[in-house]
Amino acid sequence: MRGVLPDRYALAVETPFPISGDQKLIQIVDAALADATRRSKGWLACRKGCTQCCMGVFAINQLDRARLQRGLKELAMRDPACAESVRRRAREAVQRLSSQFPGDPATGLLGQSERERQLFENFGNEEPCPALDLVEGTCDLYESRPMTCRTFGPPLRVEGGGLGVCELCYQDCSEAEVAACEMVPDPDDMESHLLREIERSTGKRGETIVALALAA
């Protein structure tokens, strides 16, 4: 594999993973999503085949990366052909994206400089997620998806204090109705504790992208 996937990055597939802690985090987040969905009274447009949020590159942290890699290994045991399709799509994505990757090609980590952050704003905006089955409109790694994917859709508090929502959802709703559906996914900030744990155990810090997590 050429580009931004050196051999030493491929070794990250075997990184220690806080399984029980991550399972508890997922239960908390999924319960918060279910509650927000109930309060949304049909205003959520999320459904099979709606893949707008699966288009475009976004940053994932080390916990997301490890969860995805673990999910892909489990998929390979259940359905080797499907897992190989995910890997192939990821490798093809890496080839398309590597020449303009705004980070360190040796580690696969996104850069933190102001210039690199600005470049990332317009990086791979039309790129489909490698986990997305474009024919079925479903995620092949749905149970292992990153936290960004788990919380996208319902109103979510964003930097600056406002509420961010998917543009396809909550049509013709008042601000009060949207606010009443706010999702609080991780009230005790459990993700940060798990992230620090996995960063300490691996010595790897920083963010990457889904394609690089799955192409190894």
Q: How big is the chain by its Cα radius of gyration, in Å?
A: 17
Convert the pLDDT of each residue in 113-136 to its tens digit. Answer: 999 999 999 999 999 999 999 999
Give pTM, 2 decimals. 0.88
Given this model, what pLDDT does residue 64 score?
97
Position 160 pLDDT exceeds 80: no
Amino acid identity for residue 174 in this structure: S
Q: Which run of H or of E encompasses 60?
A: strand 59-60
- Encoded tokens for 13: 């597939």
Q: Is residue 103 part of a domain?
A: yes
Query: Looking at the predicted structure, is the pLDDT value of residue 6 above 50?
Result: no
Q: What integer pLDDT is reported at residue 12 of this predicted model? A: 41
Q: Is residue 150 part of a domain?
A: yes
Instruction: Supply the mean pLDDT for the chain.
Output: 89
pLDDT at residue 7, rounded to an integer: 41
State what percent of residues in the chain have pLDDT above 90. 71
> Is residue 1 a part of any domain in this protein?
no
* Structural domain for 33, as ranges: 7-215
Q: Who wins on pLDDT, 14 or 54?
A: 54
Q: Is the pLDDT of residue 26 over 50?
A: yes
| Domain assignment present for 2 | no
* Overall domain count for the chain: 1
Count of positions (residues) in the chain: 216
Region 159-167: what's the mean pLDDT?
82
Look at residue 17 and tell me if it is in a domain. Answer: yes
Q: Give me the mean pLDDT over the 172-191 stretch.
A: 93
Task: Tell me what pLDDT residue 16 has.
Answer: 62
DSSP string across 84-150: HHHHHHHHHHHHHHGGG-SEETTTTEEP-SHHHHHHHHTSSTTPBPTTEETTTTEETTGGG--HHHH
